[in-house]
Amino acid sequence: MDSQKVFAPKNQDPQIEIRYFCGMQQKIVITGGPGTGKSTILKVLETLSYSCLPEISREVILEAREKGIAHLFYTDPLLFSKILLKKRQAQHAEATKKTDDLVFFDRGIPDILAYLNFAKTSPLENFKELNKTFAYHKVFVTPPWEAIYRKDNERSETFEEAQEIHQHICHTYAQLGYEVVEIPYGIPSERAEFILQNLLV
């Protein structure tokens, strides 16, 4: 079709071709509970010359710690979410300005609602309307994986809590009308290839 072209990124197997409509940037979310390997997948995609935008909740956590708040999300989940929303909106706008045909996100705006549901906190006002404005084209989720799960300074959840967050994330994206594609377990390069193959038209 004349309205399509083939995108073959540098450093990638030429047999993997991604077809997309000309002039339409594709915003792709990789999400999931904490400690499921999504950030590692993003790093693999970066090595293949894809545009990838990082998770920014850690940035909010560290900024709060500089002000003496050990973990803002658990202290004030609504305030944390409002700050994170502004940053994710800015990130979405930053992606739109890029000339890249594919932009991958480490979590999307709907993750904010999923975490608020996990914290049993009322959602932000007009959240569904916001998601229409700041939309994504496809969503992939990394399922809970106990074998690789590790806590760190910014990841304080137990594995059981990570499983619960995963359920909230899948439910939230589905409620907002997204089809969520689960990424199988495997080494990071295999998981990245799974995503790329699923972006084939």
Domain coordinates in residue numbering, the chain: 25-198
Q: What is the pLDDT of residue 153?
A: 66
Q: What is the pLDDT of residue 185?
A: 97
pLDDT in tens, 64-118: 999 999 889 889 999 999 999 999 999 999 999 999 999 999 999 999 999 999 9
Q: How many CB atoms lie within 10 A of CB 150?
A: 8
pLDDT in tens, the chain (201 residues): 333 222 233 344 433 334 344 458 999 999 999 989 999 999 999 999 999 999 998 899 889 999 999 889 889 999 999 999 999 999 999 999 999 999 999 999 999 999 999 999 987 778 888 888 999 999 999 999 999 988 776 677 889 999 999 999 999 999 999 999 999 999 999 999 999 999 975
**CA–CA dist 109, 105 (Å, integer):** 10
Q: What is the pLDDT of residue 189?
A: 97
- Class in CATH terms, 25-198: alpha beta
Q: What is the pLDDT of residue 186?
A: 97
What letter does residue 39 receive in the DSSP assignment?
Answer: H
Helix H or strand E encompassing 179: none
Task: Give the pairing type, strands 18-21 and 4-7.
Answer: antiparallel
Radius of gyration of the chain (CA): 17
